[in-house]
């Protein structure tokens, strides 16, 4: 545990130096809440809670954790950890823990909205989908950044990948608006599957087939494990 906490401490030093990164999330939360309320009233606000957990899980893994590790690899900081008693699990999990500051702070920002809507069921349902999606995004993110050769390509790849799979698929809007024949294809996207699973568990969805998005997430976990195992190397491995 000491090795993990050590990595987490080193990875979280930016919080003291650049805390404004945490404040900017507040503006995004308020902005999306206003948009969703204008679009769908109280129902829109409930959907934004689901979307925020799902987008947070995806962004944390494929962008935050992946970028930190990608920059460590490019800047040779990873070599320092390889030369230490730290193992791959300690290293990745340490960065994972340090990145939890973002969903924790976002939850604090949304607390007023959650209490106002009495949306604790939505929060619990979203957390059920949050955890496997977070695992998928972290594994996929690692598989991507460990293949990147040029430092300038890290953000250029992970940032668009984060936004692409949050904005276009049914994350901020329900999958039920998509024709059922196309819905099965759209829900193959991990973020869409996670959002639909959360909506069904919380009663926000009018489509009742929870096993399909759940199976999609399980399949993506398997894909993530297989793809990251082939690319994440440690020392002379």
Which regions in the chain score pLDDT beneath 50? 236-237
114: Cα separation from own chain's centroid: 20
pLDDT in tens, 177-198: 898 889 999 999 999 999 999 9
Contact 195, 126 (CB under 8 A): no
The whole-model pTM stands at 0.85
pLDDT in tens, 85-111: 777 777 777 777 877 888 888 888 888
CA pair distance 37, 43, nearest whole angstrom: 8
147: Cα separation from own chain's centroid: 20
CA distances from 200 to 81, 125, 175, 186 (A): 42, 8, 11, 16
CA pseudo-torsion sign 163, 171, 139, 222: negative
pLDDT in tens, 146-159: 777 776 677 778 88
CA pseudo-torsion sign 184, 189, 195, 200: positive
């Amino acid at each position: 545990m000491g090795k993990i906490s050590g990595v987490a401490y080193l990875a979280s030093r930016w919080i003291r130096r650049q805390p404004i990164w945490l404040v900017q999330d507040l503006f995004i939360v308020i902005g999306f809440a206003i948009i969703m309320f204008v679009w769908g009233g109280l129902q829109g606000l409930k959907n934004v809670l689901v979307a925020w957990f799902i987008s947070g899980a995806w962004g944390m893994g494929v962008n935050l954790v992946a970028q930190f590790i990608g920059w460590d690899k490019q800047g040779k900081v990873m070599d320092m950890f390889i030369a230490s008693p730290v193992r791959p699990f300690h290293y990745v999990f340490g960065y994972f823990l340090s990145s939890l500051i973002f969903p924790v702070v976002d939850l604090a920002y949304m607390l007023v909205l959650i209490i106002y809507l009495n949306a604790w069921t939505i929060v619990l349902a979203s957390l059920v989908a949050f955890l496997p999606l977070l695992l998928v995004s972290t594994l996929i993110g690692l598989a991507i950044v460990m293949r990147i050769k040029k430092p300038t390509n890290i953000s250029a790849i992970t940032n668009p990948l984060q936004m692409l799979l949050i904005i276009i698929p049914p994350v901020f809007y329900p999958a039920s608006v998509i024709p059922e024949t196309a819905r099965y294809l759209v829900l193959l996207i991990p973020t869409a599957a996670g959002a639909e699973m959360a909506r069904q568990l919380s009663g926000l969805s009018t489509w009742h087939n929870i096993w399909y998005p759940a199976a999609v997430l399980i399949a993506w976990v398997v894909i993530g494990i297989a793809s990251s195992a082939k690319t994440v190397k440690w020392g002379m491995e």
